[in-house]
Structure 1
Amino acid sequence: MAGNATLSLQHAVGGQHRMEAHLLGCQFAPHRHDTYAVALTLQGVQSFDYRGSERHSQPGGVVVIHPDERHDGRPGTCDGFRYRGIHIEPGRIQRMLGGRELPFIAGGTSTDPHLIRAVRVLLADYQRPLGELEFDDALYDLSTALNALSTQRRQLKPLDYCSAELAREFLVAHWDKDVTLACLEQVSGRDRWKLSRDFRALFGTSPYRYLLMRRLEQARNMLASNQAPADIAVACRFADQSHFIRHFRNAFGMTPGKWAGPA
């Protein structure tokens, strides 16, 4: 980073993966995660590479990164940029959509007023945790806005949402165990390869990547309580600390130390 480079990252209270960030002279490394990353640009130009092209979001615009899509993030001008964002598990979106293929927003940016309105509800009152019913209402509005704008309308074979959801719930509950496709087949009652196909379409990533991200999510929680990275690596079933750091950076675009901030 340059001498005047700054990365300010503030996590909102409430455990709903909301945050506000200000980048000046620095950037997020290329990474991918199994959640939707939805951001409202507040100041400056929010630039990023996505699906082979450079994208830009101006103040008031919305960025929507589809689960498991590689991207980065940087200021589009020397003045830096500021945004508020939220990471949303596809499983929560699926509760609203009822088992349709996940919406995809072409280009990763939008100025659609319905989508912007839904995002503002989620991010405007930043210092106050959202109640569960309030949060679900806001997610419903966001899900319907995303679905209305989606450009991903492939003709797929019927998806077995119930079986995929059983597998997803099992992975959430057993993030600290060795899980195989054979195990998920038994849990869900669905042929393992059909289940794997359905899981990708419904939740935007593979069962293995979903399990890996649950471990990284646990690692973030442990970082927030100031536990040592070496201890976290062991507890979250990574081979060693360097293995943990590499996966963390690939998922979140920064090292565990940078994410945790000053002690």
Structure 2
Amino acid sequence: MTTAIAPHEEPKRHQIMAWSADDIGFQKVELSPGKVMAFNRIFHDEIVMLAFTNSTWRSEQNGRDYLETPQHVVIRDAGQIYSAKLEETSGRAAPECREIYLSRERFTRLMAQSEDALPPLDFSNPCIDDPQVRALFVTTHQAFERGDCLLEASTQLSWLMARMAQASSGRAVQISAARCQKRSRLAIDYLRENFYRKVTLEDLARVCEANPYVLLRQFKAEQGVTPHEYLMAYRLYKARHYLRAGLSSAEVALMCGFSDQSHLIRRFKQRLGVSPGSIVGKPV
């Protein structure tokens, strides 16, 4: 049910936050209950993926009507003419819409990297009703929003694209065993040598001369963790070494590839259960 607005009370404006990272556009919109939001026969130059929280939309494209709910991830092809209207909001939390914008060139590059492992996305039905796609979309968007580990974010995007292509087309991901060469050692060496840099999955795949989707699966199968999880473990290992040497947390954060000191502290507490300050001067 749509949230009620008291008489004569002016609804708040929708709050929009937009940013870009790794040549990808992102947007997060906090919807104001009671405030009309509608789009009539518009299109984007980019491929758009979006998901809603606590709101339902009614849309139309190619002469067909769709009900877009919080269970869906919605995809629209570049240049697709569509109309959409906010149907209702629900829940106590503020309704929200998260969006990812991929240029046609960026999308083509992502798909080409799979070396035909991924089936093509089917844009004829904009609504993908798949819990795993929904969860991957949210974690991918949040990873880019935090911006503290580009390898983690680009890895999440690859998982999202793979699952979305599979759910959209109804076809399985096809990975040829002939291409699954042993690349984990090369990937580990590169991560250790460049732990202080911003590393993307594209960088890693290029160094390993491997399909990124194959590399992800093979690395996880052989090491038990993803490349970004390995990178984070190595960064924390180096951070402990530098802290014991007497360097400050702020210095260590920059030296080990963390976005800032708070990122270092957050990862320490997540992985080690303690703050960086408790490590100083203590053998680990």
Structure 1-normalised TM-score?
Answer: 0.48
Greater RCO structure (CA 8 Å; 6+ sep): 1
